[in-house]
């Protein structure tokens, strides 16, 4: 776990790591600063545009005055250069005479306008440059190109460009903190919650924060520990209760035949005694299943010996040969070497449960196939049958303890609802998994997969 005291709590980095509220305030401050910058820039652009228009009106008026002054003293084909320089010095402008044929070619609008700003002629031209037409005897004879000093004129900008640049800067400033401070921690919380929801409780939750998200991580870790404790207590309770019940049931199993023999077969209570005897046998079977389930859930309670699933499969098939013959079933074995490390007794119990289910629910004359082998890094034991199958909506729950897809059918077959739960518990305790593929009327394929070993 990382150290939580690298920076003092009163420092800015310490505050930023110590509370999500502080991070939100910092993010809001950055966002407000960015919005303030944008607002200031937009207002400045609007003011500058207003100033440009006002100065252009002033320049238009001054250009008109210059044109009138030059026209009143024009006696030849062009004004005297000295005259133009004198007027330009007085008004702070540079004046150039352009003959009419050149002027009208450069600015055709001069035919209708006596004074023309360059911005009226083409985009991007400077607002302090003007064209003023010179008329003599009612006829245009030329034009003056007047250029005032640019001092005092704000540079023209396109507001949408400036606004886009400012918004880009705001995004670069505010989005990374939002991702680092909020989005990534929320994604991590989601991953931790999903992992705990999937039942992966062995890996501790890493706590490397001391803000509100850190408190949430601590809550997740506390929840994980409590769930593990509850599961351990549940398994311990099942084991203890099963052991305690075994003694009274054993004594009842011994006493009931004696009572039945004492009463005699014709006694009225003999039938009840026989029913009690069957109930005791059922309870004894259920307790045995509970003990097997508890042992399968505990990796510490099993052996870790080198085994071959093919040999275990041959053994469980031989033990059930009588059932196969009685029900006229066809059992096909495809054993291939599949070496693992584990508890032979528990694995044989799990494999036997899968085979028993296939034999139990396959109709008379049906076919059951059993196979072992290695697939990549997994060793597998597979049982396939052509029975009625399991509805798809029941498949996610078939490994839950005491779950019965069809309660009436299971009771008739004598099941306890723990067979597949034991298979799953044994698989998980050996680092493997069990799964079933089936569908109503499609048969069933049950498979036990374990890490392959030498």
Query: Does residue 370 lie in a domain region?
Result: yes
Both 209 and 103 in a single domain?
no
Q: Which two tokens stand for residue 275?
A: 């029913």
First and final CA of the chain: distance in angstroms? Answer: 36
CB 367 within 8 A of CB 347: no
Query: Does residue 93 lie in a domain region?
Result: yes
Q: What is the pLDDT of residues 423-454, one digit of tens each?
A: 888 888 888 999 899 877 788 999 999 998 75
Both 355 and 411 in a single domain?
yes
Both 193 and 210 in a single domain?
no
What CATH number corresponds to the domain at position 282? 1.10.287.130
Domain end point (choices 198, 230, 251) = 198
Q: Which two tokens stand for residue 189?
A: 């919380």
Distance separating alpha carbons of residues 120 and 125, to the nearest angstrom:
8
Distance separating alpha carbons of residues 358 and 365, to the nearest angstrom:
13
Distance separating alpha carbons of residues 258 and 283, to the nearest angstrom:
19
Q: What is the largest CA-CA distance in the chain?
A: 156
Both 385 and 322 in a single domain?
yes
Both 50 and 138 in a single domain?
yes
Domain count, the chain: 3
Burial degree of 275 (CB within 10 A; 0-12, 13-18, 19+): exposed
Query: Does residue 19 lie in a domain region?
Result: yes
Q: Domain limits at 159? A: 7-198
> What are the pLDDT tens digits along the chain (454 aa)?
333 333 333 344 544 455 666 667 777 777 777 777 777 767 776 776 677 777 777 778 888 888 888 887 777 778 888 888 888 888 778 888 889 888 888 888 888 888 877 765 444 445 578 888 888 877 888 888 888 875 555 554 555 566 667 677 777 776 777 677 777 888 888 888 888 887 778 788 888 877 778 888 889 888 888 988 887 787 777 667 767 777 777 778 777 777 777 777 666 677 777 778 777 777 777 777 777 776 666 655 567 789 999 999 999 999 889 889 888 899 998 889 999 998 888 898 889 989 988 998 899 889 999 999 998 899 999 999 988 888 888 888 888 877 776 643 444 455 667 788 888 888 888 889 998 998 777 889 999 999 987 5
Both 87 and 129 in a single domain?
yes
What CATH number corresponds to the domain at position 420? 3.30.565.10
Both 20 and 134 in a single domain?
yes
Distance separating alpha carbons of residues 62 and 39, to the nearest angstrom:
35
* Residue linked to tokens 């001054």: 62
Query: Does residue 1 lie in a domain region?
Result: no
CB 315 within 8 A of CB 348: yes
Helix (H, G, I), strand (E, B) or coil at 327: coil
Query: Does residue 424 lie in a domain region?
Result: yes
Domain end point (choices 168, 198, 228) = 198
* Among the listed residues 355, 357, 225, 239, the one whose alpha carbon sits nearest the alpha carbon of residue 301: 239
Both 191 and 216 in a single domain?
no
The backbone torsions φ and ψ at residue 308, rounded to the nearest 5 degrees and listed phi first, read -125, 115
Domain end point (choices 300, 322, 348) = 300
CA 443 → CA 78, 250, 338, 391, 436, distances in Å? Answer: 109, 39, 25, 10, 11
Query: Does residue 368 lie in a domain region?
Result: yes
Query: Does residue 441 lie in a domain region?
Result: yes
Query: Does residue 2 lie in a domain region?
Result: no
The backbone torsions φ and ψ at residue 84, rounded to the nearest 5 degrees and listed phi first, read -65, -40
Both 51 and 110 in a single domain?
yes
CA 155 → CA 46, 284, 418, distances in Å? Answer: 12, 96, 84
Both 32 and 178 in a single domain?
yes
DSSP 8-state symbol, 268:
T
């Amino acid at each position: 776990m990382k150290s939580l005291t690298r920076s003092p709590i009163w420092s800015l980095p310490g505050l930023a790591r110590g509370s999500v509220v502080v991070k939100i305030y910092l993010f809001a401050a950055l966002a407000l600063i960015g919005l303030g910058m944008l607002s200031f820039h937009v207002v400045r652009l609007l003011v500058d545009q207003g100033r440009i228009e006002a100065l252009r009106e002033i320049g238009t008026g001054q250009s008109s005055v210059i044109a009138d002054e030059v026209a009143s003293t024009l006696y030849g084909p062009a004004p005297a250069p000295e005259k133009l320089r004198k007027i330009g010095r007085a008004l702070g402008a540079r004046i150039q005479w352009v003959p009419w044929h050149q002027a009208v070619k450069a600015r055709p609008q001069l035919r209708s306008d006596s004074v023309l700003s360059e911005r009226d002629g083409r985009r991007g031209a400077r607002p302090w440059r003007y064209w003023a037409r010179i008329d003599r005897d009612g006829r245009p004879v030329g034009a003056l190109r007047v250029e005032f000093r640019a001092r005092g004129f704000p540079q023209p900008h396109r507001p949408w460009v400036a606004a886009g640049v400012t918004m880009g800067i705001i995004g670069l400033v505010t989005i990374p903190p939002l991702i680092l401070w909020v989005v990534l921690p929320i994604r991590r919380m989601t991953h931790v919650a999903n992992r705990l929801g999937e039942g992966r409780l062995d890996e501790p939750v890493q706590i490397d924060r001391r803000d509100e998200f850190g408190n949430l991580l601590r809550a997740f870790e506390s929840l994980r520990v409590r769930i593990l404790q509850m599961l351990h207590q549940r398994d311990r309770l099942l084991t203890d209760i099963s052991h305690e019940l075994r003694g009274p049931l054993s004594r009842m199993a011994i006493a009931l035949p004696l009572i039945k023999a004492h009463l005699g077969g014709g006694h009225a209570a003999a039938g009840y005694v026989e029913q009690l005897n069957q109930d005791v046998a059922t309870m004894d079977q259920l307790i045995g299943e509970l003990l097997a389930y508890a042992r399968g859930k505990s990796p510490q309670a099993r052996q870790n010996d080198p085994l071959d699933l093919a040999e275990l499969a041959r053994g469980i098939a031989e033990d059930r040969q009588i059932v196969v013959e009685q029900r006229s079933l066809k059992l096909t074995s495809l054993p291939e070497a599949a070496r693992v490390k584990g508890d032979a007794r528990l694995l044989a119990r799990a494999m036997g449960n899968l085979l028993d289910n296939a034999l139990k629910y396959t109709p008379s004359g049906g076919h059951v196939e059993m196979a072992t082998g290695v697939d990549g890094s997994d060793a597998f034991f597979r049982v396939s049958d052509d029975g009625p199958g399991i509805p798809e909506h029941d498949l996610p729950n078939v490994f839950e303890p005491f779950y019965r897809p069809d309660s009436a059918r299971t009771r008739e077959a004598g099941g306890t609802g723990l067979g597949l739960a034991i298979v799953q518990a044994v698989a998980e305790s050996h680092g493997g998994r069990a799964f079933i593929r089936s569908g109503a009327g499609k048969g069933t394929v049950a498979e036990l997969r374990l890490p392959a070993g030498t």
